[in-house]
Amino acid sequence: MKTLVFFCLVVSLAFSDAKLIDLYLSSKATQYRPVTHREYNDAVQLFEMLFKNPLSCLDSKLDSLHLKRIEISPDMFCIIDTRKEGRGFYMIRKDKNTKSLISIPHRFYDLKTAEIAYKMISENPYKAAAFNTVHRKTMDAAHTEYTLFNAFHLAFSKVYPQEYIYQLHGFSNKKRSTLSAQKAEVIVSNATKYTTKMSENICNCLNAESIACALYGKNIFELGGTKNQQYNTLSTHEYENFIHIELNPKTRKTLSKDIAARNKAAGCLP
């Protein structure tokens, strides 16, 4: 009997993973329809309700925004864009003890960042993950204010003001103008020209794990994310726990392939 139960559990988990991967891969959109201010505000309220009570039945509100909730497992559900209009792909855990949001605004441009985030939330107890679903040349999610992607971040900050948002980006060392940026593997900032205790702690932790990190505002002055729209929106609502993380190609390749390396990075991003 125990063997049968274990077998059923393994099959269930495998099916859940396959279902989620299929939804994630099929979420890519080729067009973007801008949202109205009303849709944006409705989305903030909707996502707030989902974060506060994951068991809420909000189908009509989801439908009005052309979104759909799909249960992945007893612990997780995702939100998809039913018309594939670039409204994003979102994963939310129901467990109240989980924390932090992983954010990917340039999924199809900053290569491997989405793969890293997808694996990290699957392997670690993060509360949520947000992925853009159109190329940044169609709509740049990190620099556009009225998007459902931005609304998701704002809602998270309202419900979990003490938790962190980690936004992953990719950069090329060859395109940087300073020697420090040309040598950096990771650049961490809080999206301002100043350092914070948290950004310093993250950078120190990554360096201790042999992931060469440069801290924006202290030993590097490129790629600080100071024009980032998520930070701009969140800061006007007095949320200051936004962490902007740039990864070079070597680090992205390593983190996308090596679970031990991802676990080390996740340990620095609680």
Query: How is 17-75 classified by DSSP, letter by letter?
Result: HHHHHHHHHTT--S---PPPHHHHHHHHHHHHHHHH-TT---HHHHHHTTEEEEEEETT
User: Phi, psi (5° rounding) for residue 188?
Assistant: -115, 140
Asked whether 172 and 213 are in contact (CB, 8 A), the reply is no
Of all helices (H) and strands (E), which one includes residue 129?
Answer: strand 126-131
Place of tokens 């914070």: 196
Identify any residues that bridge with 242 across adjacent strands, giving them in sequence order.
Answer: 165
Domain boundary assignment for the chain:
2-267
Both structure tokens of 246 = 């740039």
CA atoms within 13 A on the CB side of 164: 16
Q: Considering only 11-20, 142-151, 224-233, which range has the smallest mean pLDDT?
A: 11-20
Answer left, alpha or beta for residue 251, where phi above 0 means left and psi between -120 and 50 means alpha. alpha
Give the number of other CB atoms < 10 A from CB of residue 207.
16
Residue 171 has pLDDT above 50, yes or no: yes
pLDDT for position 33? 97
Give pLDDT tens digits for 178-208: 998 899 999 999 999 999 999 999 999 999 9
Between 19 and 208, residue with greater pLDDT: 208
Spatial separation of the C-alpha atoms in residues 181 and 221, rounded to whole Å = 8
Residue 9 has pLDDT above 80, yes or no: no
Spatial separation of the C-alpha atoms in residues 48 and 70, rounded to whole Å = 17
Give pLDDT tens digits for 117-156: 999 999 999 999 999 999 999 999 999 999 999 999 999 9
pLDDT for position 96? 84
Domain 2-267 falls in which CATH fold?
A: Aminopeptidase (3.40.630)
Nearest to 148 by CA among 168, 129, 160, 130: 130
Residue 23 has pLDDT above 60, yes or no: yes
In a 10 Å sphere around its CB, with 0-12 CB exposed, 13-18 middle and 19+ buried, how is residue 218 labelled?
A: middle
pTM comes to 0.92
Give the torsion sign (CA, 112, 114, 118, 120): positive
Helix (H, G, I), strand (E, B) or coil at 219: coil
110 to each of 174, 207, 246, 265, how far by Cα in Å?
A: 15, 22, 10, 18
Confidence of residue 13 (pLDDT cuts 50, 70, 90): very low
Give pLDDT tens digits for 40-92: 999 999 999 999 998 888 999 999 999 999 999 999 999 999 999 999 999 99
pLDDT for position 16? 54
